[in-house]
């Protein structure tokens, strides 16, 4: 394994497809090492991926569902043993579901996957980030959050209604960006900077996979949305671009953008920490 010339190490969740795969490839092309958290195998017909795996530049950690704490715990234990240093954590894994569904812990699935799990991943990998050079966390958000008219812990965990994209998905992304903002001052005491970034509209449709997107959005996505490389570029710039010294901000199209419902930021963060402390038994 030859990793000496690749000084920086990033962890990317959701790295097997879409924006996560495009980001993984961009990082590798930029001479990074990548620890990739995946649900399914990486493309075995990609020569760059094969070379990166062969040389140890790309290391994979597989789990079927980050919203299931049993699987999440197993993969994080493996990462903590093998990745003692991380320069950037990209909390990118996500998805839109076609109907109201719940995690193994009993909370709404979008919320568990895209709000709660990123917090747990951050907390569990804190020591690896402290040992890193860049000490940066990028949470993948979405401009859909602007459609959330009201927000509370109760509606996040057990929503009474369901709308594709603009319901639990949008609310979960807003909650993610809110706890990112609220957690920033405390994390900065350890030298860690955290930002949430909207990757923009990307065509991430996959054949044979049910989508939680409205029909009209799916049609527009096929015709007009950019390839996932656009989203990868925005996440990469969010980590390393002009705002790299800032923390707690939300970036949309590369610009700092104000969040709605900021009065809920502290309560969302407090709920994340309570779930982590009560439901993710410590082996730390």
pLDDT at position 246 is 98
Mean pLDDT calculated for residue range 274-281: 94
Handedness of CA 241, 197, 275, 15 (dihedral sign): negative
Please give the angle made by the CA atoms of 276, 277 and 281, to the nearest 5 degrees. Answer: 90
Please give the angle made by the CA atoms of 234, 238 and 239, to the nearest 5 degrees. Answer: 125
Q: Where are the domains of the chain?
A: 9-279
CB atoms inside a 10 Å sphere around CB 34 = 24
pTM, whole model, 2 decimals?
A: 0.92
- With a pLDDT cut of 90, the percent of the chain lying above it is 83
Helix (H, G, I), strand (E, B) or coil at 11: strand
What's the topology of domain 9-279? Rossmann fold (3.40.50)
CA neighbor of 21 nearest in space, from 78, 60, 65, 51: 60
Of 148 and 200, the one with more pLDDT: 148
CA gap 54, 56 in Å, rounded: 6
Of 250 and 208, the one with more pLDDT: 250
Mean residue pLDDT across the chain: 92
Helix (H, G, I), strand (E, B) or coil at 37: strand
pLDDT at position 105 is 97
Judged by average pLDDT, the poorest of 4-13, 28-37, 75-84 is 4-13
> Taking a C-beta distance cutoff of 8 angstroms, is the pair 96, 212 a contact?
yes
CB atoms inside a 10 Å sphere around CB 2 = 8
DSSP codes joined into one string, 102-122: B-TTSSBHHHIIIIIHHHHHH
Judged by average pLDDT, the poorest of 18-22, 88-92, 280-284 is 280-284
What pLDDT, in 10s, does the model give residues 200-229? 876 555 565 566 666 665 665 665 567 789
Q: Can you point out the beta strands (E) in 112-261?
A: 136-140, 193-198, 250-252, 255-256
pLDDT at 52 over 80: yes
């Amino acid at each position: 394994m030859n990793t000496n010339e690749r000084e920086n190490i990033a962890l990317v969740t959701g790295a097997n497809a879409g924006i996560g795969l495009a980001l993984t490839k961009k990082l590798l092309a930029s001479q990074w090492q990548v620890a990739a958290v995946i649900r399914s195998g990486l493309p075995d017909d990609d020569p760059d991926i094969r070379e990166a795996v062969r040389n140890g530049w790309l290391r994979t950690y597989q789990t079927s569902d980050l919203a299931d704490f049993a699987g999440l715990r197993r993969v994080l234990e493996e990462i903590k043993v093998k990745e003692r240093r991380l320069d950037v954590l990209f909390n990118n894994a996500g998805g839109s579901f076609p109907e109201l569904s719940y995690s193994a812990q009993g909370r709404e699935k979008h919320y568990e996957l895209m709000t709660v799990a990123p917090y747990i991943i951050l907390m569990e990998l804190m020591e690896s980030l402290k040992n890193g050079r860049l000490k940066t966390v990028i949470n993948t958000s979405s401009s859909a959050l602007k459609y959330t008219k009201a927000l509370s812990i109760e509606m996040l965990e057990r929503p009474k209604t369901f709308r594709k994209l603009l319901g639990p998905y949008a609310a979960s992304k807003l909650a993610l960006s809110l706890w990112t903002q609220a957690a920033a001052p405390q994390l900065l005491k350890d030298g860690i900077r955290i930002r949430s970034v909207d990757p923009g509209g990307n065509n991430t449709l996959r054949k044979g996979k049910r989508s939680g997107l409205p029909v009209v959005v799916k049609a527009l996505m096929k015709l007009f949305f950019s390839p996932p490389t656009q989203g990868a570029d925005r996440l990469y710039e969010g980590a390393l671009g002009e705002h790299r010294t800032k923390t707690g901000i939300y970036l949309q199209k590369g610009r700092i953008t104000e969040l709605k419902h900021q009065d809920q930021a502290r309560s969302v963060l407090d709920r994340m920490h309570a779930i982590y402390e009560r439901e993710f038994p410590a082996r730390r």
